[in-house]
Structure 1
Amino acid sequence: MYCQNRISYRVQEGDSLYKLAKQFHTTVTELILLNSGMNPYNLQVGMRLTICPGEGYVDENESKPSEGNTNKPTNTPTGGIVIIPGTTTRPGNTTQPGSTIRPGNTTQPGSTTRPGNTTQPGSTTRPGTTTRPGSTTQPGNNMGVDLRQRMRMAWLNHITLVKFYLISFFENLSSQNAWKDAVYKNAEEILAIFAQYYPASAMQRFRKLFMEHLRLTDEVAAGLKADPAFSGAAMENWYINAEEIASFLSRQTPAYNETELRKMFYDHLDMERQQMEAYLDGDYETDIEIYLRSQQNMIELADFLASGLLAR
């Protein structure tokens, strides 16, 4: 995972992935992806985590003036750089001498603005990109990258939030309603991506199918909690619902191969069921191993879905 300004953080008493995600303006999913060997259920005080702070994060220690330098202006330009009020320069950016950053521009980590370039207000240069003198970035060039990133994060967040919700449900924790709310909020984020491409009538059907998936996930979890050998109607309907979603999406988007899409959804349900069974059996190592594999499944599914939408 690309990150220009990653930091090493020592876990403190009372820390949790959710708390750290809020503190560093990132997500639980990104924390897990950056720390693949970590047990997300058992953070130990003193262990080191790699964190990539998100947009808006400010290190309080860096923002405090050093002793003896209290009279030095904090926004003194150097090297001939002209900084217009209201400009935001992110960590790791390099602005060459003589360049001008205009109000409202945002330069992402790792990007380079070369002398003489003019970036129009409100424009965004993404990580690792280089804007050369006189070059023009067409409005549609970044649409595919943006859609794929949004789709990946939405589906990775889906499996992560469901994971934490199911643990809170199995353990009868008071947090289970909060996690469940987060799962449904994430579902709306996924639906919102497709709503940019599908008509309202189609989205009504998709929403109904997606909410049915979440309802059946609840029933399957409750069945397995009561009986580890559970194989009731909810389990069968869970897979039938996956078939219906694959069929619906392939009708709306001709680029989707229904057989391939159905297999991806089946794999998702298989791994989710296996995680539940392993957790309830106390086999936490297997549970974590399957969860990490399910992340790759979600990335492949997200890329498949994004590619189909872009081909419409």
Structure 2
Amino acid sequence: MYSSQEGTQPYIIQDGDSLWRIAHRNHTTIQSIMAVNSGIDVNNMYIGQSISIPLGDCSYRAPAQEMCISLTEQALSNHIRMLWEQHVYWTRMVILGIAFDLPDLDLVTDRLLRNPKDFEEALRPFYGDVIAGRFADLFTSHLTIASELVKAAKAGDSGAADDAEKRWYDNADQIANFLGSINPYWSEQEWQKMLYDHLAMTKTEAVDILTGNYADSIDIFDNIEQQALEMADLMTQGIVRQFSQYF
């Protein structure tokens, strides 16, 4: 584990990270990161590992980028990534609870349903109570409909499953439209595609678990997690561009 040096900021390695991704996101270079992390083994980085990111290294800039990433932006990125990680993790826990009638299903479901409220708290400083609350409502529906779908699939009720899936995609359309309407740097079409991919992979994950294809369910969860981080970065980048005065 590496401690932060003067002129650097700390960063915690997350699933799907590579030095290239970290450097690109922080508007620096792989070489600059390695220079402030003496002895780092780029082939054996692990989730939870702390590294240092150089501050003020503007030798590399993303297109149209006017300044290096700030500590405030990095903090927002870390927080939004954590929320999306929790979103997919607790969704999987609920799917497992439904599939195997686990005794902690109610508790796990309650924890999952805290996720939209956590997003609401994260968005409130930028968008206010009404908009943040509306997102939480839409995201809560996203989760409750998913639960209905898994329960119907387990029961073999294809009619109920089809109805839930249709409402699930309708809800995704509503979320994409809503996000596209509140931030000029968020594309409704891009959010719709990412949410559709998220739903398709989550359905596959649930079907794999319900049919006993556990290895496949783990493989698809890796993809779900990686895509969730991409949605997190899209969300962060839009907020930073819209509210640049805070960053």
TM-score by length of 1: 0.57
Partner of 2:32: none
Ranges in structure 2 where 5+ consecutive residues have no aligned partner: 4-13, 18-45, 57-68, 243-247
Partner of 1:225: 154
* Count of matched residue positions in the alignment of Structure 1 and Structure 2: 193
Deviation at 1:145, TM superposition (A): 1.2
CA contact (8 A) 2:80 2:232 kept: yes
CA 1:238 to 1:51, structure 2 compared with 1: closer, same or farther past 3 Å? closer
SS of 1:196's partner is helix
Paired residues for 1:28-177 under 5 Å: 52=48, 127-129=52-54, 141-177=70-106
Q: State the alpha-carbon separation in 1 of the partners of residues 2 and 133 from structure 2.
A: 40
Ranges in structure 1 where 5+ consecutive residues have no aligned partner: 6-29, 35-49, 54-108, 111-126, 132-139
Pick the aligned partner of 1:180 from 73, 84, 109: 109
CA contact (8 A) 2:77 2:232 kept: yes
Deviation at 1:169, TM superposition (A): 1.7
Q: State the alpha-carbon separation in 1 of the partners of residues 171 and 72 from structure 2.
A: 31
Pick the aligned partner of 1:280 from 207, 210, 215: 210
Q: Does 1:243 align with 2:173?
A: yes
Amino acid paired to 1:179 = V
Please give the per-residue CA displacement for 1:121-169, whole angstroms capped at 9, x wherever unaligned. xxxxxx34479xxxxxxxx821111111111111011101110121012
Q: State the alpha-carbon separation in 2 of the partners of residues 163 and 256 from structure 1.
A: 27
Q: State the alpha-carbon separation in 1 of the partners of residues 157 and 77 from structure 2.
A: 37
User: Superposition RMSD on alpha carbons, in Å?
Assistant: 2.6
Q: State the alpha-carbon separation in 2 of the partners of residues 261 and 295 from structure 1.
A: 16
Deviation at 1:51, TM superposition (A): 7.1
CA contact (8 A) 1:247 1:258 kept: yes
CA contact (8 A) 2:116 2:137 kept: no
Deviation at 1:199, TM superposition (A): 2.2
Q: State the alpha-carbon separation in 2 of the partners of residues 164 and 311 from structure 1.
A: 34
Partner of 1:17: none
CA 1:142 to 1:189, structure 2 compared with 1: closer, same or farther past 3 Å? same
Greater length-normalized contact order (CA 8 Å, ≥ 6 residues apart): 2
Decide which structure has the larger Cα Rg and report it.
Answer: 1
Q: Which has the higher helix share?
A: 2
Partner of 2:221: 291
Partner of 1:27: none
TM-score by length of 2: 0.71
SS of 1:197's partner is helix
Q: State the alpha-carbon separation in 1 of the partners of residues 149 and 143 from structure 2.
A: 10
Amino acid paired to 1:186 = N
SS of 2:229's partner is helix
Among all aligned residue pairs of Structure 1 and Structure 2, give the percentage whose two residues are the same amino acid: 25
Q: State the alpha-carbon separation in 1 of the partners of residues 47 and 179 from structure 2.
A: 36
Q: Does 1:256 align with 2:186?
A: yes
CA contact (8 A) 1:228 1:277 kept: no
Q: State the alpha-carbon separation in 2 of the partners of residues 204 and 154 from structure 1.
A: 16
Pick the aligned partner of 1:208 from 124, 127, 137: 137
CA contact (8 A) 1:228 1:280 kept: no
